[in-house]
Amino acid sequence: MKHRRAFRWIGGIFASLLAVTALFFLSAWIGSSIPRNADWTEPEQGIEIMVGDNGIHTEIVMPLVSGVKDWRTAFPASDLPDPSRPYTHVAVSWGERDVFLNTPTWGDLSLPTALNAATGGDGLLHAAHYVRPGPGPSNRPLRITEAEYARLVAAIEWQIPVSPTREVYRGYASYDVFYDAPGTYHLGNTCNQWVSDVLAEAGVKTGWWTPLPGGVMKWIEKPAAD
């Protein structure tokens, strides 16, 4: 009898975890399917950005220099291990500090780190510099007007520490670094939610709640195959 009660108890916990997980994914699908800026359409002319996706994490890829913003001051190449390459774009994203700094690969992600991030962790900005990144299914181009890009820039600038002594943390490669940033990461405010919030601030159509990368990418068309 004791063994049966133990099995029922374990089974109940397992069933509850499955139910919570299923509810999270269903809520994420519903929330990401409700549009913000529903009337927005992509203009014929403007500034081309990209939204990158590695399957778990999304980022906003922008020209390093444009008529609206020169990112070389906010994200100088001198912060990079390899500042000498002819960088043309910078990709900016936001995430949880411990996950960013202590998981160079997803195989390094531990359960305590994941649980801490899910329930509340400090934010961190990631800036990766690229040389002429090409479009693809996981790096989708998106054209926006100069006014929309200016609003997008302003939304990102708000996240950048203004102190001249801001901390710079080594990235995963020779072309990326991390910076301190405001905000608290949790399941309701993930890296992918940050991307959709920035796009929404610019006036671009995106989902209301996008904790998963698919919720962001579903609003951006794949580039046509050559």
What are the pLDDT tens digits along the chain (226 aa)?
Answer: 555 565 565 555 555 567 666 787 888 899 999 999 999 999 999 999 999 999 889 999 999 999 999 999 999 999 999 999 999 999 999 998 888 887 665 565 555 656 565 666 889 999 999 999 999 999 999 999 999 999 999 999 988 876 666 889 999 999 999 999 888 888 889 999 999 999 999 999 999 999 999 999 999 999 987 5
| pLDDT of amino acid 62 | 98
| pLDDT of amino acid 89 | 98
Which tokens is 52 given?
């990158």
**Residue 75 and residue 164 in contact, taking contact as beta carbons nearer than 8 Å:** no
0.85 surpassed by pTM? yes
